Structure 1
Amino acid sequence: MRILYAVQATGNGHIARAIELMPFLQKMGKVDVFLSGSNSHLPAALPVVFKSKGLSLFYGNKGGLNYPKMLQSFSPFKIMKEASALPVEKYDLVINDFECITSLACKIKRVNSIGLGHQASFKSRYTPRPEKKDLLGEFILNNYATASDYIGLHFENYDSFIHAPVIKEQVLKANPQNNGHITVYLSHYSDEVLQRYFSKLTSVQFQVFSKKIKQPVEEANIKWMPISNEGFTKSMIDSVGVITGAGFETPAEAMYLQKKLLCLPIKGQYEQLCNAAALQKLGVKILNAISEDFSEMIESWLNQEQQNSFVLQNNTAGLIEKIMEKVDSPFFRPSNLYNELLQEDSTASNVKGLSLPQLSLKY
């Protein structure tokens, strides 16, 4: 079986999940990865065959999105060109982790695909949302990367197609300790902003993971760390608690490890506001932004009771079985319409021969 796995690289969580799933997928057949996005800070130890800047989210320094930079990188013509060139029709299975170019390519070429990941869970109306829904946010979640069928991942099984998060093997096998430090990953805030507040809590040790740091640096009660999947996970396993955004993978792993969790959702990112609503129901402390009393809020959080722990209800191998159940279902039959059109159209053979590296995507 030939598998194309499209991974959105606008966040570290997508890549971390792909790394964990890869050994299981490779048992099913040959896997090619399409990596789309330009602002993940994790090295992608994946069989990347196709790569594109795609559509990326960029963050400012004070907790929000950098819209001017996002608009500057947006090129509809380039996206259409890359989607037309992406050879999705050559694969037996296309798995899409919230990647828009692959989604568009499958539409153009009438190829079935499986939407796999956290964003897929928002296809259900039962998945938690904030009190005030964002119509644009809902539209993006439902239309940015559509697929033929979905396997959603979330903190709880809110619907029949929603399953537990993919927890890294390093976390599953961990023997959690409490070495007294707080593990921090807040990529939407600058190091300067974080240092201002963390330095006030002289009795608390912080291990802060920063995209600007290449080697560990210690400054008083703050240890600045380079972003690393293994390094961050080890820090979290040995921590008293975790301060991070309202993403998905890190909060899930922190709760699985029974670590105290404090989340600050990214301003303007609707998915994180939805996650914050779900996390709040589980007893997680949510702060909308860093304010002048941030240091005091951290002290208060450390003295609060532990939030609910996360119980893993199925494993990664079970998730792969769910994928195969979808593929083997009568509904999910590979569509040969595009290939039939190519054979009938004498001019189409030239189109079929184009590879992504010949166009705008990079190998």
Structure 2
Amino acid sequence: MKIFYAIQATGNGHISRAMELLPYLQQYGKVDIFLSGANSSLRLDAPVKYRSRGLSLFYTCKGSLDYFSMVKNISPLQIKKEVAALPVEKYDLVINDFECITSLACRQKKVPSIHFGHQASFMSAKTPRPRRQSRTGEWILKKYAGATQYMGLHFRQYDDFILTPVIKSEIWNARSRNDNYITVYLPSYCDCEIRKFFGKLTAYRFQVFSREVKVQTKQGHLTFIPVSKERFNESLIHCAAIVCGAGFETPSEALHLKKKIMVMPIKGQYEQQCNAAALEQLGVRTLTRLTDDFNIIFEKWYAGALPVDISFEYNAGQITALMMQKADACL
């Protein structure tokens, strides 16, 4: 079987998931990868046959989307050319992890595909949403990577086509430990903002994963660390708690490890607002943004927070097997 696997490289979650699934997918046939996007911090440890700048998300220093940079990096003519050139029709199976060029190519060439991943779960009205829904956000989640089949991932199985998250084997098999520090991963905030708000919390130690530093840098009780899969896994496994964005992979891994979790959705990113609503239902502390009284909020939360009692049913191998069963409907 020839498998086309389209991976969104906006952020690190899609790449992290792909690296976990790829060895299992390769048991079913030859896998060619299409990597689309321009702002992930992780490297995909596999050959990439097709590559595109795609449509990427960019962030300001203060926790919100940078719309100017996003629009500046869109080239409709280039996207049109890439859609026409992408040879999806030559593959037995097309798997799309929230990538629009592949979706458009499949629709144009009438090629069936599976939209697999977290965003696919929002095809269900049962998946949690914030109190104030966004029409634009809903349209993007449902139309950005349209397909003929959907297989979603979420914190809970809200519908019959939704599975629990893909957890990296290093996390799935890890023995969680509390080394009395807090992991911080807020890539939509600059280091200067992190120093401003976390600098007041001198009674705690923080390991901050930064998109700015090239080498580990210690500044008092704050240690800034370049983003890497291995270093982040180690930090998460051994931390007492984590403060992070309301993405999907990192909160999922923290839930699996039974860590205290505080999340802050990126301003303007509707998917993260939906995730925050789901996490809030589970008992996770959510904040809209960093504020001047963050030190007070943090101390109150840290003193009283308890890990969420949740277990995920499927490992990566089982999820891949279930996806291939669903692929029978596409073949």
Instruction: State if a TM-score over 0.5 links the two structures.
Output: yes
State how far apart, in whole Å, the 2-side matches of 1:280 and 1:70 are. Answer: 29
State how far apart, in whole Å, the 1-side matches of 2:106 and 2:48 are. Answer: 19
Matching residue's letter, 2:34: F
Matching residue's letter, 2:130: P
State how far apart, in whole Å, the 2-side matches of 1:263 and 1:230 are. Answer: 22
| Matched-pair contact (CA < 8 Å) for 2:64–2:266 | yes
Matched residue SS, 1:48: coil
Match for residue 86 of structure 1? Answer: 86
State how far apart, in whole Å, the 2-side matches of 1:210 and 1:217 are. Answer: 10
State how far apart, in whole Å, the 2-side matches of 1:33 and 1:327 are. Answer: 17
Counterparts of 1:299-338 in structure 2 under 5 Å?
Answer: 299-329=299-329, 332-333=330-331
Q: CA deviation at 1:46?
A: 2.1
State how far apart, in whole Å, the 2-side matches of 1:56 and 1:46 are. Answer: 21
Q: CA deviation at 1:47?
A: 2.2
Matching residue's letter, 1:238: H
Matched residue SS, 2:49: strand
Q: CA deviation at 1:199?
A: 1.6
Q: CA deviation at 1:198?
A: 1.5
| Matched-pair contact (CA < 8 Å) for 1:7–1:36 | yes
State how far apart, in whole Å, the 2-side matches of 1:324 and 1:16 are. Answer: 20
Matched residue SS, 1:64: coil
Matching residue's letter, 1:12: N
Match for residue 239 of structure 2? Answer: 239
| Matched-pair contact (CA < 8 Å) for 2:34–2:50 | yes
Match for residue 277 of structure 1? Answer: 277
Measured against aligned partners, the alpha-carbon deviations of 1:8-30 in whole angstroms (never above 9, x if no partner) come to 00010000000000100111111
Moved more, 299-308 or 23-32: 299-308
Match for residue 295 of structure 2? Answer: 295
Match for residue 252 of structure 1? Answer: 252
Using structure 1 for the length normalisation, give the TM-score.
0.90
Match for residue 140 of structure 1? Answer: 140
Measured against aligned partners, the alpha-carbon deviations of 1:256-279 in whole angstroms (never above 9, x if no partner) come to 100000000000100000000000
| Matched-pair contact (CA < 8 Å) for 1:252–1:310 | no
Match for residue 345 of structure 1? Answer: none
How big is the alpha-carbon RMSD for the aligned residues of Structure 1 and Structure 2?
0.9
| Matched-pair contact (CA < 8 Å) for 1:187–1:211 | yes
Matching residue's letter, 1:281: Q
Matched residue SS, 2:166: coil
State how far apart, in whole Å, the 2-side matches of 1:74 and 1:195 are. Answer: 33
Match for residue 150 of structure 1? Answer: 150
Measured against aligned partners, the alpha-carbon deviations of 1:153-176 in whole angstroms (never above 9, x if no partner) come to 000000000001000000111111
| Matched-pair contact (CA < 8 Å) for 2:183–2:235 | yes
Matching residue's letter, 1:246: A
Matching residue's letter, 2:212: K
State how far apart, in whole Å, the 1-side matches of 2:256 and 2:323 are. Answer: 24
Runs of 4+ in 1 over 4 A off after TM superposition: none
Q: CA deviation at 1:142?
A: 0.6
Matched residue SS, 1:197: helix
Q: CA deviation at 1:307?
A: 3.9
Bigger Rg, structure 1 or 2: 1
State how far apart, in whole Å, the 1-side matches of 2:327 and 2:283 are. Answer: 37
Residue 165 (str. 1) matches residue 153 (str. 2): no
Matching residue's letter, 2:312: L
Counterparts of 1:106-255 in structure 2 under 5 Å?
Answer: 106-255=106-255
State how far apart, in whole Å, the 1-side matches of 2:129 and 2:108 are. Answer: 32
Residue 286 (str. 1) matches residue 286 (str. 2): yes
State how far apart, in whole Å, the 1-side matches of 2:309 and 2:78 are. Answer: 44
| Matched-pair contact (CA < 8 Å) for 2:167–2:253 | yes
Measured against aligned partners, the alpha-carbon deviations of 1:51-72 in whole angstroms (never above 9, x if no partner) come to 1100000000111000011111
State how far apart, in whole Å, the 1-side matches of 2:199 and 2:289 are. Answer: 18
Using structure 2 for the length normalisation, give the TM-score.
0.98
| Matched-pair contact (CA < 8 Å) for 2:197–2:290 | no
Percent identical pairs in the alignment equals 51
| Matched-pair contact (CA < 8 Å) for 2:260–2:308 | no
| Matched-pair contact (CA < 8 Å) for 2:283–2:308 | yes
State how far apart, in whole Å, the 1-side matches of 2:59 and 2:139 are. Answer: 21
Q: Number of matched residues?
A: 331
State how far apart, in whole Å, the 1-side matches of 2:49 and 2:295 are. Answer: 45
Match for residue 356 of structure 1? Answer: none
State how far apart, in whole Å, the 2-side matches of 1:217 and 1:112 are. Answer: 48
| Matched-pair contact (CA < 8 Å) for 1:282–1:307 | no
Matched residue SS, 1:43: coil
